[in-house]
Amino acid sequence: DAGTRMGLPPEVAYQLAVGTFIGASTLAQRSDDPPQVLRERVTSKGGTTYAALTSMEAAGVKAKFEEALFAAQKRAEELGREFGK
């Protein structure tokens, strides 16, 4: 959505978003280094990745991801009890 709001055609925005996630996932999967180290290697202070990460940190994105994971865990436990009867 953000890509199209920036003026990209929807198919280009989609391909860029998917490519970013595939690239990051593949790098993490193939590396023995922790994700934090990989992120530091691709983040130049004052660069575009730095700007994006700083923006997300300020918006509380990390906390929201953690909230989402705990909500999913809670629901999984509820479903496990329901179906375990």
pLDDT digits over 27-84, tens only?
999 999 999 999 999 899 999 999 999 999 999 999 999 999 999 999 999 999 999 8
Q: In one letter, which amino acid is 43?
A: T
Burial zone of 8 (CB within 10 Å; 0-12 exposed, 13-18 middle, 19+ buried): middle
Q: In one letter, which amino acid is 85?
A: K
What is residue 84's predicted lDDT score, i.e. its pLDDT? 83
Query: In the predicted model, is pLDDT for residue 8 greater than 90?
Result: yes
pTM assigned to the model:
0.71
Give the residue among 68, 52, 69 at the shortest CA–CA distance from 2. Answer: 52
> What tokens does 2 get?
């953000």
What is residue 41's predicted lDDT score, i.e. its pLDDT? 92
